[in-house]
Amino acid sequence: MVRKSCYIGFSYFAGLFLCTIGWGRNNAVFALAAVCVALTAFVLFKRYRKHIVLCFVSFLIAVGVNTAYTHIFYDKLTALDGKTVTVKGEITDISYIGSDTCRLSVNGTVGGVKGRLTFYADDIEYD
């Protein structure tokens, strides 16, 4: 049972790691490649079919989680790049960096999208 859990965990994290390539734009390619690899391994290695199915399902779940996060949260936040937005929320961290510059971390809404924002501002620029 421990080995199967290891296979599941490794496949899941491998799926998440591969999905970070291209910021989630290549997820369909990775899912299709996983189908091809899983089918080939399923046919060739009859003794390990349970493990192959577990790894394949775990990999597809990771790809699905990454795809959902990318389309629900990440794309909405990156669409705000270069636009003027209103940040409403709670400041969770203020750190003085030096040269009259501070780093602010805010949990709340950014231009109507929920998220966490970290930005740099002049020491006297925020209220």
For residues 61 and 115, state if they share a domain.
no
For residues 6 and 48, state if they share a domain.
yes
For residues 65 and 91, state if they share a domain.
no
Would you say residue 51 lies in a domain?
A: yes
Q: How many domains does one find in the chain?
A: 2
The 8-class DSSP code of residue 99 comes to T
Q: Whole domain around residue 61: which residue ranges?
A: 2-78
Distance of CA 1 to CAs 6, 47, 48, Å? 9, 16, 14
For residues 13 and 49, state if they share a domain.
yes
What is the CB neighbour count within 10 angstroms for residue 125?
A: 11
Distance between CA atoms of residues 116 and 121, nearest Å: 16
pTM over 0.85: no
For residues 95 and 74, state if they share a domain.
no
Cβ partners under 8 Å of residue 58, min gap 6: 7, 8, 9, 11, 12, 15
For residues 105 and 45, state if they share a domain.
no
pLDDT tens digits, 45-94: 999 999 999 999 999 999 999 988 888 877 887 787 788 878 888 888 88
Distance between CA atoms of residues 18 and 26, nearest Å: 9
pLDDT tens digits, 90-115: 888 888 887 888 888 888 888 777 87
Would you say residue 63 lies in a domain?
A: yes
